[in-house]
Structure 1
Amino acid sequence: MNYYPHKQNWMAIRATDTSGALARAYKERLSGFTVTSRQEKHITLKEGGTFVEFVSCSYLGLETHPALIEAASAALTTGGLHLSCSPNVMRPIYLPQLEALMGDIYEGCGVSVFTSTSSVHLGVLPLLGSDLLKAYPIRKRVRWLIEKTAHASMQVLRGVLKQFGEVSRVDAGDPESMNETLKHCINHKETPVLLIDGVGSISGLVPIAELAQELDRAGGYVYVDDAHGISITGHHGAGYAFSAVGHKLPSNMILAGSLSKAFGGSGGFVVVADPCDIETIKTLANPLIFGHSIMLPMLAANVAAAQIHLGREMNRLQHRLWANVSLIDSVTGHRLINAGIPSPLRGAMFESEEAGLKAARILRDYQILVFPVFYPIIPKGKAMIRFAISSTHSERDLRQLGAALSDINDAGLWNVDGPLDSN
């Protein structure tokens, strides 16, 4: 039966084009793990066995930091689990504390906290497109430029964004194409807004400062989702995007960040150039009006994490992360995706889904759990295995991964030249 008699929507197309590779990975317990306990990067699964995981995006290991656990426990005792109402009606004491601390990290900017980075997108972008953020005026109309590698949480909003202006997918790595697009916006008196990741989940780093200047010349804005870049670098762990612009947010940039990855807690936040726009965000952003605050224990943990970011310990955590990233590059001969760049994410690409599944099996035999990736994250028919490196991985963990990848290479599954050094 044809359930889509007219033009197929994007979800129907995705469902049609998706193979059974991910379902096989679940069935073979190569993904979809059920964790019963953990000790740093070593996790025990429900079906038994203890493994080293390279899956979690908590790149600094702060989610197990005693200060965060103590703060969460205290909040649970004094306030329970949740204040289930809009933060505009009743807000936990930790929320203004957190926003003040985030204001210290992003000095001179305005910061507002949401329950997730996706909620930031859903709340802030319609305000921007409606010309309600006074520091970011829109001319005749907005033209959304969604970078082709931007996170799915922004891609999926195309239908919402079309209520405010036309939407185009662009390749920010193609200067000629970008120039033509921006010229079109100038000629038609459109305000271009580029939606892009800072540190891509698989695509490396983006030249944020250069893009901000390029959009500024066209009278437009850059909206950066730096979820993977927060905490791992920058003064006070401000992140990749903020450090790339000299720790001073350009007047034509909005930064969306995550509290749920390297930051160590849970939630998302937005950083705007003019603190005056925060009142508009807090009173008009849909997720803040019709949603709720982050649950109390996690909100308190966020406060503890922010205090760590502002202290001396942050430099040590960042240094250990980058030492581990350097080590994995060394033992794999700089042949992984993203090798040599300041990103905690590495990957190995495979020419077929079957090869990727076989590689994941070998890794599991080495007591290593990873993230196997298939379409629609990467092109149809191919596979990739992503490795998230953390400051809490031991040297033994990393060399164990190097040895497994060497076996995968020797088996002819991974097309890299020459032997890998796992010693």
Structure 2
Amino acid sequence: MTAPVTSPRNWVVTRVQNSSSALDQAFAEGLTGHVFTAREGKTVTLACGRRAVEFTSCSYLGLETHPALLNAAVASIGRVGVHFASARTRMRTDDLDVLERNLCAVYGGASVTAFTSVGNVHLGLLPLLGAGYLPSYPVARDGVTFFLDRTAHASIQVLRGVLEQLGPVRRFDSEDPESLPGLLRDGEPGRTPVALVDGVGSMGGLVNVASLAAAVEKAGGYLYVDDAHGVSTMGRHGAGYAYEVLGGSLPDHVILAGSLSKGFGGQGGFCALRSDADTRLLRRFGNPLIFGGPLSLPMISANRASSELHLDGTVARLQEELWANVRLFDERTGHQLVNAGVTSPVRGAMFPTEEDALAATRRLSLADILVTPAFYPTVERGHGLVRFAVSALHSAAEIERAARALAGDHPERAA
């Protein structure tokens, strides 16, 4: 695939030109892009009538099928309908206020705002942070320098052009403990550093947010953590990986973004800020909140119900089931996968070639195990990864079957 001759060299051109046909092949063979018509637990019925076990959904606790969320969504439809076509700043349902109050409790009194997606959190919050308008996060007179982790999610990477309107953007490698501290030492003293990282990696890895937070604090800056894949999976109230490793509190120099669409079991994203003054400014000037549509009303109510399960101990019990399944998966795969032994619900089988990854995905599919095959730019060019999203809902038998199929045992279609 080639770009038009007149195209300037940019990240879009680089991404498209460096990508292979491996993902297209996976779609063509029916190894990804599945369409399902029903599900029970982790078993889905595909449009062709075939039944299979999925390891693709990032709903790590299975909350999206919990009766409390289902009942809340249905009741909301009868009470207020499916949608209200107005920005939340103009009018909102009462369940949104309850949801945000509950999230404030989950995050120890931090001030929380819900968005339609984590990407919209970044788009709404980072420009205000970079421009120095959030009251609790002042910046130097010369502005900010953004330090963007190379492993940060694409929803942050794609905003580089927006961020560069506010200050320089530097890249660093969170896997190298000296990368960010070195850049901070050599940085511009007249600017406030803002480091942008993930918490739990979507394809593997845990970012050492505690050490990065310490380095940024020493430099007088801020750490912005997108913990989309960590939310709900750790902590007594499911505050998530980053919040827990930071001591079960939100430090003054840390801003947390999280997802309501993964472990939380609902839909949307949120941010946790230091004070209500920051939140008022965000809700007044955050672009997606002012000019974008709201969450659907049933999903707001489902999110509210999930937040109550976070506070009443249900989520803590589901976490135990999740981590038991993760330990079993590691045991059955010989502790050889990406993230083995790590407190992440994501496991990956990395292969030296894309064809090897496709072959593994075929074996799994033959055993009626559905996974996520990933290629460049998600992983290093030329390599392939098969991702497993482990859930509290997976049975021991389903985990055993997936492990055997990955190893090449019993590739025949399951009964």
Q: What runs of 5+ residues in structure 1 fail to find an aligned partner?
A: 411-423
What aligned pairs does 1:364-403 form with structure 2 within 5 A after superposition? Answer: 364-403=365-404
Q: Following TM superposition, by how much is the alpha carbon of 1:19 offset from its aligned partner in structure 2, in angstroms?
A: 0.9
* Number of residue pairs the alignment of both structures matches: 409
Is the Cα–Cα contact under 8 Å of residues 149 and 203 in structure 1 kept in the other structure?
no
Q: What is the alpha-carbon distance in structure 1 between the residues aligned to residue 7 and residue 408 of structure 2? A: 49
Q: Following TM superposition, by how much is the alpha carbon of 1:10 offset from its aligned partner in structure 2, in angstroms?
A: 1.1
- 1:103 corresponds in structure 2 to 104
- 2:130 corresponds in structure 1 to 129
Q: What is the alpha-carbon distance in structure 2 between the residues aligned to residue 65 and residue 221 of structure 1? A: 37
Q: What is the alpha-carbon distance in structure 2 between the residues aligned to residue 330 and residue 6 of structure 1? A: 49
What aligned pairs does 1:64-83 form with structure 2 within 5 A after superposition? Answer: 64-83=65-84
Q: What is the alpha-carbon distance in structure 2 between the residues aligned to residue 81 and residue 126 of structure 1? A: 31
Is the Cα–Cα contact under 8 Å of residues 147 and 194 in structure 2 kept in the other structure?
yes
CA distances 1:81-123 after superposition (whole Å, capped 9, x unpaired) = 1011111111111111111111111122110110110000000
Question: What SS is found at the alignment partner of 1:98?
Answer: helix
In structure 2, the CA distance between the partners of 1:204 and 1:2, relative to structure 1 (3 Å rule), is closer
Question: What SS is found at the alignment partner of 2:276?
Answer: coil
Q: Percent identity?
A: 48
- 1:149 corresponds in structure 2 to 151
Greater Cα offset, 169-178 or 245-254: 169-178
**What amino acid maps onto 2:385 in structure 1?**
M
Q: Following TM superposition, by how much is the alpha carbon of 1:238 offset from its aligned partner in structure 2, in angstroms?
A: 0.5
Is the Cα–Cα contact under 8 Å of residues 121 and 257 in structure 2 kept in the other structure?
yes
What aligned pairs does 1:160-239 form with structure 2 within 5 A after superposition? Answer: 160-185=162-187, 187-239=188-240
Q: Following TM superposition, by how much is the alpha carbon of 1:150 offset from its aligned partner in structure 2, in angstroms?
A: 0.2
- 1:283 corresponds in structure 2 to 284
Q: What is the alpha-carbon distance in structure 2 between the residues aligned to residue 213 and residue 237 of structure 1? A: 23
Q: What is the alpha-carbon distance in structure 1 between the residues aligned to residue 346 and residue 276 of structure 2? A: 33
- 1:34 corresponds in structure 2 to 35
CA distances 1:62-85 after superposition (whole Å, capped 9, x unpaired) = 000001000000101111110111
Q: Following TM superposition, by how much is the alpha carbon of 1:208 offset from its aligned partner in structure 2, in angstroms?
A: 1.3
Is the Cα–Cα contact under 8 Å of residues 257 and 269 in structure 1 kept in the other structure?
yes
Q: Following TM superposition, by how much is the alpha carbon of 1:9 offset from its aligned partner in structure 2, in angstroms?
A: 1.8
Structure 1 segments (4+ residues) deviating >4 Å: none
Q: What is the alpha-carbon distance in structure 1 between the residues aligned to residue 406 and residue 370 of structure 2? A: 13
The answer as to 2:302 corresponding to 1:306 is no
Q: Following TM superposition, by how much is the alpha carbon of 1:203 offset from its aligned partner in structure 2, in angstroms?
A: 2.9
The answer as to 2:86 corresponding to 1:85 is yes
Q: Following TM superposition, by how much is the alpha carbon of 1:2 offset from its aligned partner in structure 2, in angstroms?
A: 6.3
Superposition TM-score, scaled by structure 2 size: 0.96
Q: Following TM superposition, by how much is the alpha carbon of 1:408 offset from its aligned partner in structure 2, in angstroms?
A: 7.0
- 1:9 corresponds in structure 2 to 10
Is the Cα–Cα contact under 8 Å of residues 257 and 268 in structure 1 kept in the other structure?
yes
Q: What is the alpha-carbon distance in structure 2 between the residues aligned to residue 99 and residue 2 of structure 1? A: 45
Q: Following TM superposition, by how much is the alpha carbon of 1:175 offset from its aligned partner in structure 2, in angstroms?
A: 3.0
**What amino acid maps onto 2:170 in structure 1?**
S
Is the Cα–Cα contact under 8 Å of residues 201 and 229 in structure 2 kept in the other structure?
yes
Greater Cα offset, 401-410 or 234-243: 401-410
Greater Cα offset, 176-185 or 317-326: 176-185
Is the Cα–Cα contact under 8 Å of residues 335 and 341 in structure 2 kept in the other structure?
yes
- 1:415 corresponds in structure 2 to none
Q: CA RMSD in A?
A: 1.4
CA distances 1:298-345 after superposition (whole Å, capped 9, x unpaired) = 000000000000012122100000000000001111001100010000
**What amino acid maps onto 2:146 in structure 1?**
W
The answer as to 2:372 corresponding to 1:359 is no
Question: What SS is found at the alignment partner of 2:168?
Answer: strand
Q: Following TM superposition, by how much is the alpha carbon of 1:184 offset from its aligned partner in structure 2, in angstroms?
A: 2.3
CA distances 1:8-61 after superposition (whole Å, capped 9, x unpaired) = 121112111111110110010000000111001000111221000000000000
**What amino acid maps onto 1:170 in structure 2?**
F
Question: What SS is found at the alignment partner of 1:231?
Answer: coil
Superposition TM-score, scaled by structure 1 size: 0.94
Q: Following TM superposition, by how much is the alpha carbon of 1:368 offset from its aligned partner in structure 2, in angstroms?
A: 0.3
- 1:413 corresponds in structure 2 to none
CA distances 1:272-304 after superposition (whole Å, capped 9, x unpaired) = 122321100110100001112210000000000
In structure 2, the CA distance between the partners of 1:18 and 1:252, relative to structure 1 (3 Å rule), is same
**What amino acid maps onto 2:54 in structure 1?**
E
Question: What SS is found at the alignment partner of 1:200?
Answer: coil
Q: What is the alpha-carbon distance in structure 2 between the residues aligned to residue 235 and residue 70 of structure 1? A: 24
Q: What is the alpha-carbon distance in structure 2 between the residues aligned to residue 13 and residue 333 of structure 1? A: 37
Question: What SS is found at the alignment partner of 1:43?
Answer: strand
Question: What SS is found at the alignment partner of 1:223?
Answer: strand
Q: What is the alpha-carbon distance in structure 1 between the residues aligned to residue 67 and residue 239 of structure 2? A: 22
Q: What is the alpha-carbon distance in structure 1 between the residues aligned to residue 77 and residue 374 of structure 2? A: 37
- 2:293 corresponds in structure 1 to 292
Is the Cα–Cα contact under 8 Å of residues 197 and 206 in structure 1 kept in the other structure?
yes
